[in-house]
Structure 1
């Protein structure tokens, strides 16, 4: 069942066409990876699907409802976003930054409670950031800030999670840990990735090229040597990992 979809989606900035003719259905519970060269439209697509930007043409449906008619609160209760750049100069504690993820669920009739505290603590634990909870945002490294961004999104308890290159700035240990956390969550996930070997772990992949969707399907069916040559301008072949039999991409420049 499709929980998030778009039809004939397009986005232009002045004379620049960033996306055009995107048709996509995201299935409930899947991890859908979005890959493509720099400038292919990955971040723009995620922002349109999240309602952060308004499309020039086409429409986005969230659980069958047009995104444009939903309030920001309604959207935020179902969908969370982790952008590449979302910094702040505020002198805010890490715990308080993650607690902002609970905002869509709070009201005069539903004030902050012990349950919200527990959700924030769990989100910090899931990204290995519990020890950062009393630190100020300004004191964090780039990688630490990225983990806190993801914790804030987890605290939102979304049904759909959109992540724009969430492993940027992270060391390899935390890259793998974050991807494991994300893929273990009982949510539908859209994740833009640069690392094609990491993308192979997704349920399906959407390949963007110059603002168009050029391939969609299971990773090994989509990332063929010919597709990698045509879209990414690299030569590729697959190796089999003797440890677990997984397929690994070996890439070379043309």
Structure 2
């Protein structure tokens, strides 16, 4: 008999993940496994728990119950330095009033890899330069962080995460504050990266470009699968409260959603 190949370990997974705050269930019983190399979108109405789920998966919050596994290891038992070498999270808001240059801000992404015996060097500088290029932010490298626009800051946040050279990239609504050109370009760049990506998205048409979607509703995972199989008209009405139908763009054959108020 031919031996079966070993099953790939899910880069990131959680089991029965729950969080209760102030007597309210914010997340309830989430079971999720991310496939190697995929872009998994997380969608849901405001307040459904998207940002909270990403923080739990990144180890920034402690769940009330359940567990998270990073490359098959319990996240709770891994040192923060090791987690930062494997996983990068880009949150919606992260600011500083320090007069720090964009290059230095992105270089902070190399911190998990540095030590007294391995200080910031030529290879780290090359990684930072590449991260700036990948986020279309090379022209900002000499600018001061606090002088940037919201969209420019978002691109620098992403560059800093890329500078970590993570195996997993978690993005919380990364297209917020970006103009339409950079929204489209950013998602294409992220999906082309050799990393496994989880991305919380507000725009459901942008979410259609993901490999799979996880749909949250009032703290529960209510659907998981390929975009059109989970964003059905019935699901869009029951979870998002809108009528919707699919259209086919005659330019390239892409499927897009059209929404109507109920």
Aligned pair partner of 1:99 in 107, 120, 131: 107
Residue matched to 1:158: 166
38-47 or 121-130, larger mean C-alpha shift: 121-130
Residue matched to 1:216: 224
Q: Is the 8 A contact 1:127 1:177 kept in 2?
A: no
Cα RMSD (Å) of the superposition? 0.6
Normalised by the length of structure 1, the TM-score is: 0.99
**CA-CA distance at 1:244 after TM superposition:** 1.3
**CA-CA distance at 1:113 after TM superposition:** 1.2
Does residue 89 of structure 1 match 2:97? yes
How far does the alpha carbon of each residue in 1:49-76 deviate from its partner, in whole angstroms, 9 at most, with x for none? 0000000000000011110000110000
Aligned pair partner of 2:41 in 24, 33, 38: 33
Corresponding pairs, count = 254
**CA-CA distance at 1:181 after TM superposition:** 0.8
Aligned pair partner of 1:248 in 231, 235, 256: 256
Does residue 9 of structure 1 match 2:17? yes
**CA-CA distance at 1:26 after TM superposition:** 0.5
**CA-CA distance at 1:246 after TM superposition:** 1.1
Residue matched to 1:149: 157
**CA-CA distance at 1:189 after TM superposition:** 0.1
How far does the alpha carbon of each residue in 1:95-147 deviate from its partner, in whole angstroms, 9 at most, with x for none? 00000000001111211111111111111111111111111111100110000
Residue matched to 2:74: 66
Question: Structure 1 residue runs of 4+, over 6 Å off?
Answer: none
Q: Is the 8 A contact 1:8 1:23 kept in 2?
A: yes
Residue matched to 2:4: none
Matching of residues 172-211 of structure 1 within 5 Å: 172-211=180-219
**CA-CA distance at 1:179 after TM superposition:** 0.5
Aligned pair partner of 1:18 in 10, 13, 26: 26
Aligned pair partner of 1:119 in 121, 127, 144: 127
Q: Which runs of 5+ in 1 are unaligned?
A: none
Residue matched to 1:235: 243
Normalised by the length of structure 2, the TM-score is: 0.96
Q: Which runs of 5+ in 2 are unaligned?
A: 1-7
**1: CA distance between counterparts of 2:79 and 2:97?**
27
**2: CA distance between counterparts of 1:201 and 1:87?**
29
**1: CA distance between counterparts of 2:143 and 2:45?**
36
**1: CA distance between counterparts of 2:98 and 2:77?**
32
